[in-house]
């Protein structure tokens, strides 16, 4: 459920990001807070590009780890979310399986 860039990196779909949202919120919390603080403190978007890159790298590393540790469950959950246009209520079984295989 991800496409590739010219550099060969996987670009996560919205369904994968939605499915991993709890994990992203937990593992990348520090990076996200630093980015939001930067944006609040300085209205110049260029000043926060480095913090934004740190958030992106954190998320990409997390997704890579999740795929290695529970790829089958993650793909099933992401696939369900994709099929049902990111509506969690239709994917509770897949969500439960994913969260059991890769707990927070």
- pLDDT attached to residue 17: 95
CB 91 within 8 A of CB 77: yes
What is the Cα–Cα distance from 23 to 26, expressed in whole angstroms? Answer: 5
**Model confidence at 6: pLDDT above 70:** no
- Residue 102 above 90 pLDDT? yes
Q: What pLDDT was estimated at residue 77?
A: 96
Place of tokens 């399986």: 97
CA distance 72 to 78: 10
pTM of the model: 0.85
pLDDT score of 9:
63
4 forms beta bridges with 10
């Amino acid at each position: 459920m991800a496409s590739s860039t010219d550099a060969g990196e996987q670009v996560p779909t919205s369904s994968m990001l939605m499915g991993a949202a709890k994990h992203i919120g937990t593992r990348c919390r520090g990076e996200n807070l630093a980015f939001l603080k930067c944006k609040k403190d300085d209205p110049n978007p260029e000043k926060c590009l480095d913090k934004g890159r740190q958030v992106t790298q954190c998320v990409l590393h997390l997704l890579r780890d999740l795929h290695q540790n529970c790829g089958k469950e993650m793909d099933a959950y992401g696939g369900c979310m994709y099929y049902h246009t990111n509506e969690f209520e239709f994917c509770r079984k897949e969500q439960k399986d994913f969260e059991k295989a890769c707990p927070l």
